[in-house]
Structure 1
Amino acid sequence: MSEDKVKGPASYFPSIEKTYGRPISHWKEIVRAALPARHMELVALLKQQHGLGHGHANAIVAHTLAEDGK
């Protein structure tokens, strides 16, 4: 039997939580508070104001927007 692996943006979540010391819910709140900003504006916000790397910021934004149907 093969083990189900987390795929897509959520696959970054354990690394994000370990690297930045905050739960994913914290980052999603920041993204949602900045809406209706566009995807790359949200990525830039996380990078510039919170010090996240591009891949981590992009994963959070993509997952949050998909979760909210945006």
Structure 2
Amino acid sequence: MSGADKVKGPASYFPSIEKKYGQPIDHWKALIDGQPGMTHMQLVNWLKQTHGLGHGHANALVAHTLAQRGKEG
């Protein structure tokens, strides 16, 4: 994979998130979508406290999910 093909941004964390926590990214995105009305940081802290994710992983999932939500809405 060349540098131009490398995944950038929050999605670059997805393979390690799936490997570490044993759940597909869609699982985490569905959990985030099931928490309407929470801010970015509230969602990050919720994932960390409730599901044991690390800060970087939680932040990447929330950033990506909220960005997708913005494109769909």
TM over 0.5: yes
Could you tell me which residue of structure 2 aligns to residue 14 of structure 1? Answer: 15
Deviations 1:4-55 (A, max 9, x none): 1100000000000000000000000110000110000000110000000000
Q: Which segments of 5 or more consecutive residues in structure 2 lack a partner in the other structure?
A: none
CA–CA separation in structure 2 for the residues paired with 1:26 and 1:32: 10
Q: Which segments of 5 or more consecutive residues in structure 1 lack a partner in the other structure?
A: none
Q: CA RMSD in A?
A: 1.5
CA–CA separation in structure 2 for the residues paired with 1:30 and 1:2: 32
Give the count of matched residue pairs. Answer: 70
Percent identity reads 67
